[in-house]
């Protein structure tokens, strides 16, 4: 379980094209019905209102933003407990491993 973060919703400017696991990508494509393409440095999954359109299935790196010591929120949002950088790397590695295992079946 990730620490709770009271988000102020000001971080859209920090949302840009990111690397994610194959499984995370497939989930997004299935939800939106097409393969999003980044044409600018803004995340293609941000809606016109600046909100994430895939928030409930957002990639792990997006979930870790503001929760990991090395990825602090620039707008002052603070988690109930910071994860260490190592804990963040381990969560990303687990997602990558899970994605590879899923593809083997």
pLDDT tens figures, 66-93? 999 999 999 999 999 999 999 999 999 9
Residue 5 lies in a domain: no
Residue 64 lies in a domain: yes
Phi-psi region of 96 (alpha: psi -120 to 50; beta: other; left: phi over 0): alpha
Residue 93 lies in a domain: yes
Tokens at residue 22, please? 């194959």
Decide: 85 and 72 in contact? Cβ < 8 Å.
no
Domain that holds residue 93: 16-34+42-104
Residue 9 lies in a domain: no
Residue 79 lies in a domain: yes
Q: What is the reported pLDDT for 14?
A: 84
Q: Which residues contact 75 (CB under 8 A, 6 or more apart)?
A: 8, 10, 11
pLDDT score of 105 more than 50: no
What does the pLDDT look like over 17-51, one tens digit per residue? Answer: 888 998 999 999 999 999 998 888 889 999 988 88
Residue 1 lies in a domain: no
Quote the number of domains for the chain: 1
CA distances from 28 to 1, 23, 25, 32, 97 (A): 21, 9, 5, 6, 18
The radius of gyration of the chain from alpha carbons, rounded to an integer in Å, stands at 14
């Amino acid at each position: 379980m990730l620490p709770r973060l009271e988000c102020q919703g000001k971080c859209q400017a920090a949302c840009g094209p990111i690397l994610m696991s194959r499984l995370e990508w497939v989930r997004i494509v299935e939800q939106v019905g097409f393969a999003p393409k980044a044409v600018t440095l803004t995340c293609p999954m941000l809606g016109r209102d600046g909100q994430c359109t895939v928030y409930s299935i957002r990639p792990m790196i997006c979930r870790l933003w503001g929760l990991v010591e090395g990825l602090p929120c620039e707008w002052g949002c603070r988690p109930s407990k910071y994860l260490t950088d190592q804990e963040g790397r381990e969560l990303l590695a687990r997602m990558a491993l899970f994605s590879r295992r899923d593809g083997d079946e």
